[in-house]
A = this chain, B = another copy of it.
Amino acid sequence: MGKLERHVTITDVAALAGVSVGTASKALNGRGSLREETRARVREAARQLNFEVNAGARSLHSGRTYTVGMITTDTIGRFSIPVLMGAEDALGAGQMSVFLCDGRDDPIREQYHVKTLIGRRVDGIIVTGRRTEARAPISPALPVPVVYAYIGSADPDDCSVVPDEAGGARKAVEHLLAVGRTRVAQITGPEHHHSARVRAGAAAERLAESGLAPAGPTLFGAWSEVWGRQAIGMLLAGGADFDAVFCGSDQIARGVADALRSVGRRVPEDVALVGFDNWGVMVEGSQPPLTSVDMNLEGLGRTAAEMLLAAINGSPSPGRHARPCHLVVRESTAVPLVPGAA
């Protein structure tokens, strides 16, 4: 474990350099007017002692901690991780450290974390979660700015950075139309889930705009492969006529792909398939690899962090900011390898 040395203070550094603490502070921070020789002497002393300035003591003065809190309302998971990473990235570049708090879907716990963060005098807070549905603000009035990422705040004056899922769904449908499909079926997650409804609704709307009716009713179920396989069974049993399936998630799409293959329907020749989330291990493991809508979660996190930094510096960006999704095309929608033929 190494020797546990005592923490070095600026007093130690000043003593070693033979100057006063005030002078040492100025030397290390490039303030005041000092001879270059003095500065160098202090710097050398600091280096020699492995001095790291006590951030707590410093912020006592500046009022800034260069620290932000990140609260996941529900458990840290597949969606919050990329958001978290994007935020960490953007904040790290601004020399800020991140306190990570897991709310575990428990409002009490969440409230406790908010209080703790305020106590730690974070400069701001990022709230994220597993679903995109708007949620109640974490607190009516806080002394620091708050930005919601992925999950949105129900208060329209709060700053929220969310994916444009409807736009993503429309892009998926447009792509299917572009590769010549007209009988599009939909299989998605639970009906009570906001994302399932939004994605399915937007897709249906886009079809209607092209004068097309959906190939059968939208099948709501679960966000799982098992459901994807079941749903295809239902679709086939019902004699539905479809040449494409837009799925609410990659897991569902993968289940669909497997089920279609096992009944001898070829993807994409007979049925084109689009998933949602662009989850690497799913889209790549699938046979064939899946075309999917990417919500750019990392970008979402980065943007949220940048907006938080701006808010901390006095330029808030209130309101709901929807960020575009983009489509990543793979074999499951059979785009010709030679682009000219499109």
Contact = CB atoms under 8 A, between A and B. Distances in A.
11 contacts: A1-B145, A1-B157, A6-B143, A52-B119, A53-B119, A54-B60, A77-B81, A97-B117, A99-B100, A255-B285, A281-B282
A137 to B, nearest CB: 7
Oligomer: number of copies? 2
Given A52-B119, A76-B84, 11 more contacts: A2-B142, A3-B141, A53-B119, A54-B119, A54-B121, A55-B119, A55-B120, A56-B65, A76-B85, A88-B101, A226-B285
A1 B140 CA distance: 8
A43 interface: no
Contacts of A56: 55-57, 59-60, 65, 120-121
Given A2-B139, A4-B143, A285-B226, A118 B52 contact: yes
A108 to B, nearest CB: 13
A51 B179 CA distance: 61
A136 to B, nearest CB: 13
* For the complex of A and B, 10 pairs with smallest distance between CB atoms: A56-B56, A2-B141, A225-B285, A52-B119, A100-B100, A52-B118, A55-B120, A5-B143, A55-B119, A3-B141
A7 interface: yes
B5 A141 contact: yes
Interface of A: 1-8, 52-57, 59-60, 63, 65, 67, 70, 75-77, 81, 84-85, 88-89, 92, 97-102, 115-121, 137, 139-146, 157-159, 224-226, 251, 254-255, 258, 281-282, 284-285, 287, 311, 316, 318
Contacts of A4: 142-145
Nearest to A255: B285
A51 B194 CA distance: 37
A102 B120 contact: no
Contacts of A99: 97-100
Contact of A2 (B70, B75, B140): B140
A130 to B, nearest CB: 14
A231 B53 CA distance: 55
Residue among A3, A88, A120, A144 facing the most chain B CB atoms (10 A cut-off): A120
A284 B74 CA distance: 22
A113 to B, nearest CB: 8
A59 B121 CA distance: 13
A254 B281 CA distance: 12
A251 B281 contact: yes
Most chain B CB neighbours (cut-off 10 Å) among A1, A88, A146, A251 = A1
Nearest to A65: B56
A77 B281 CA distance: 13
